[in-house]
Structure 1
Amino acid sequence: MRLLREATFRRYWSAQTVSLFGDQVTLIAVPLAAVLIVGAGPAEMGYLTAAALLPNLFLSLPAGAWVDRRPGKRRVMIVADLSRAVLLLAVPALWWAGALTLPALVVVAFAVGTFSLLFEVAHASLFASLVRREDYVDANGLLNGSRAASFVAGPSVAGGLVQWLTAPVALLADVLTYLASAAFLRRAEVTEMPVAAEDEPRGMTAGVRFVARSAVLRAVLLGATTLNLFNYIFSALFVLYVTTELHVSPGTLGLVIGIGSIGGLVGAAVAGPLSRRIGIGPAVIAGMLIFPAPLILVPWAGDPVTLAALITAEFLSAAGVMILDIAVGSVQTAATPPAMLAVVSGFKRTVNYGIRPIGALLGGALGTLLGVRPALWIGAVGALLGVLWIVFSPLRTMRELPEAAELTPA
């Protein structure tokens, strides 16, 4: 692949890859530190989880607007990497000092989430400066391929590190990955696109208004939001249903999810060729269907095909989400003016992360009122409605990446 022959892109991709694998350690080590070291209960674990997610909900839009006004997006990403390394280093330091507490873990989780958010919205702008337009899909395929690989291998490596080193010490592995990411980014010198001129629209309001006026971006956001709402209805009840109704053991469930995650690697590999063959718009539609449709197999499953149905559902759904993310990410980058990439990314994160807890709460309510299995049917089938926003938009017949609309002062 041409991109991998370019040293600057290789360093950028390496930074993303090593960081993604390190994140898997944190996802396991921080909750285990809370349970095993601090003695956290269900309510405390809820606080810890919420602390990590709140920055995405409340800070994505202002962070995106702030990053768009900064001339050095790569520098923002490096600072975010180094800041996360220092914050995570505090956990084993406090543990060694006998001073590790739940409030300390909550503060670390919130702060790491905030710098992760800054990293991601700055990444949206740097990506467009680094990658040629015709390579958007292939570049997104490589980045999402790394993400899929981290889902497959990361949890087992993270679990082994936690068991071998204890949860706080295992976080040192993620500290090293953030330092490595910063080092790769420091060497990935790129000429960044200029920030918005003084007379061009910018800021939070301008970003929201631009998405609302763009038929392509509006359709993508509404489609993804609809899909996420119903998917989180499904996700909130999946483990409960599989373990209590289908009587699948936790170990077997972990194996099912692990095998299913391989589908993400397949999806990342086929997204580029699929987009070139059928067009970028139809590829978005394909992802919007292949992601949720296989999940119908879960409430349908029963003996003697329970495990086969679950593995098939997880595998195909993982492939679908990668096709969707790669196609949608490429469309969003192409359809957005460079000066607004960060704020548009921040607005998308605000809406998508905001709808997830609503979906989870709705799933719990539906499961209580109607039963878990009917609620799963609603979640799986309802998620397919997201594709309607795409079908009735210009994306339906779009073969090439869209052009970004011109910015006009309000």
Structure 2
Amino acid sequence: MSTYSVGSANFGRFWFGQTLFGFGTRIGTLGLSVTAVGPLDANTRQVGVLAAASTVCYLVIGLPAGAWVDRMPKRRTMMWAALTRCLTILVIPVLLLTGDLRIEVLYAVAVVVGVVSVFLDVASQSYVPVLVPEEDIGAANARLEATAQVSALGGPAVAGLLMRVVSAPVVMLVDALAHLVGLLSLGVTRDGERRPAPEEGGGRRHLTADIGEGLRFVRDQPVVRRLAVSMGVSNFFATLVSTLVPVLVMRTIGFDSFVLGLVMTCGAAGGVVGALLAPRARKRFSAGAVMSCGLLMAALFTVANPLAAAVSPHGKVLAGAVLLVGEFGLTVGALLFNVTQVSLRQSLCPKHLLGRMNASVRFVVWGSMPPAALVAGWLGSAIGVVGALWVGVVGSVATVLPILAVDRVMAASSAAPRTQEPQTQEPQTQEPKAQEPKAQEPKAAR
């Protein structure tokens, strides 16, 4: 299989397309939320249902998507997903012009966009080890994460500015255009990937067998298992908080959509800082230390959301400053964690299992988001937005517990295969591989 270095023009084309996807997705996510809260005047529960509709796909098709991605050329999968998202997003401004835009339409668009996002995300994460040589995986992920954060830096701000001139549904056109251009960029990217051959014996295994293999890898690989549990809990409480942030900013405190975009932009700036700091931190500290500190930092800065509501009666400027600082610190911590964990997972997993491993982890991680969004809507109505945010703060602190012993687990599993290797014939060779100084490479995540 031919690969291209991280400094090649070919990787640059893939990198450019991924940057556009990130830019468009940030605008589209903000546009959907503001369309619901603003023009359609959705209540707290409807906002929760919309957030759940965007992520329920990971529970429904997350696992089979990984098996399908492993069976299909990953670049073509990304292209079809980008095209589908582009066409689906266009429904919103069209219906705005005809006067037929309703909250039910947003639910439907969110579901379709969520489905194609599953394929786009799983395929793109699984494509990096196919496109670049193994020694370049960490650097490739670092570049992808840094520019994803740069695009996220400008996306919400641009969306907020545009929404002062045109309505939020019209801003969704930018999302559609970004995915169209990203699709064209993928079209001129080259790789040596071949469609996986059918299993020996005359045909492919059943889909459930492929899904089971991916799930067993996540279950049996001790580091990946701990990461999946930690990320599942983290995403539950992060979704609970993020679902209510637009309501907090635009209703509880009384800012407009521009300030909401500014808060998200400040968060993306923190993401850039986190992406730049992570490789350096990784050279000086262990993987477990970097990930634990990152998650704990993100959890502690989450307190800025309910704190902003508490200080808002004393001045909106102060409340806005608290929100900006909180979002910045939260994403610095989140990126310190993510930059390490995705590349770590990629280095632990055999290439033929990448799609299923990524999909299995995302089934756990992203699958926690729909119930979290519904809980957010219910809690927001039952105990108020600020009370629900405090629940998110307390829960976020617990996310670090499953990975506190990751370094000891890695050290133990590095020694175990040496004595058991003659009896091990399954693809457990990735465990000694994961304990080599892979941890010394700058690792990054998408």
Deviation at 1:355?
1.8
Could you tell me which runs of 5 or more consecutive residues in structure 1 were left unpaired when the two chains were aligned.
none
Deviates more, 1:366-375 or 1:389-398: 366-375
**What residue identity is the alignment partner of 2:236?**
L
8 A Cα contact 1:390 1:396, kept in partner: no
Number of the residue aligned with 1:179: 180
Mapped to 1, the partners of 2:327 and 2:351 lie a distance apart of: 36
Contact 2:48 2:243 in 1 (8 A): no
Quote the offset at 1:9 in angstroms: 1.1
Q: Which of the numbers 271, 274, 286 marks the counterpart of 2:281?
A: 274
Partner of 1:295: 302
- Which among 59, 63, 79 is matched to residue 61 of structure 2? 59
Letter in 2 for 1:146: T
Tell me which moved more, 233-242 or 282-291: 233-242
Deviates more, 1:249-258 or 1:166-175: 249-258
- TM-score of the pair, normalised by structure 1: 0.81
Structure 1 match to 2:443: none
User: CA RMSD for the aligned pairs?
Assistant: 3.8
Q: 1:273-312: per-residue Cα shift (whole Å, max 9, x none)?
A: 2222324343222322222133346667776986665443
Among 313, 319, 329, which residue is 1:316 paired with?
A: 329
Q: Does 1:115 align with 2:97?
A: no
Tell me the amino acid that sits aligned with residue 299 of structure 2.
P
Residues 48 and 374 in structure 2, CA contact (< 8 A), matched pair in contact too: no
What is the Cα deviation at residue 267 of structure 1? Answer: 0.5
Superposition pairs of residues 187-206 of structure 1, within 5 angstroms: 187-192=188-193, 195=196, 198=199, 203-206=210-213
Paired residue type of 2:427: L
Indicate yes or no: 2:342 matched with 1:329.
yes
Distance 1:225 1:306, change over 3 A: same
Match of 2:13 in 1: 11
Report the equivalent of 1:21: 23
- Counterpart of 1:341 in structure 2 is 354
Residue 378 of structure 1 deviates from its aligned partner by: 5.1
1:44–1:369 CA distance, 2 compared to 1 (3 A): closer
Q: Give the CA deviation at 1:35.
A: 6.8
Determine if the alignment matches structure 1 residue 391 to structure 2 residue 404: yes
| 3-state SS in 2 of match to 1:158 | helix
1:294 to 1:169, Cα distance in 2 relative to 1, 3 A: closer
* Cα deviation 1:45-101 (Å, max 9, x = unaligned): 55544433222221111111111122x111111111122222233444455556555
Question: Using the alignment, how far apart are the partners of 1:89 and 1:83 within structure 2?
Answer: 10
The residue aligned with 1:135 is 136
Is 1:225 paired with 2:232? yes
Which range moves more in the overlay, 197-206 or 218-227?
197-206
- The worse-fitting range, judged by mean Cα deviation, of 28-37 and 4-13 is 28-37
Paired amino acid for 1:69: R
- List per-residue Cα deviations over 1:106-165 (Å, max 9, x = no partner): 433322221121111111221110133333332222222222223321112123334445
CA offset digits 1:241-293 (Å, max 9, x no partner): 78899x68557666555434321110011112222232434322232222213
Q: Contact 2:79/2:187 (CA < 8 Å) preserved in 1?
A: yes
Cα distance in 2, alignment partners of residues 364 and 54 from structure 1:
15
Matched residues in 1 for 2:299 and 2:37: separation?
33
Deviation of 1:167 after TM superposition, in Å, equals 4.2
What is the rounded CA distance, in whole Å, between the counterparts of 1:365 and 1:164 in structure 2? 33
Cα distance between partner residues in 1 of 2:5 and 2:263: 34
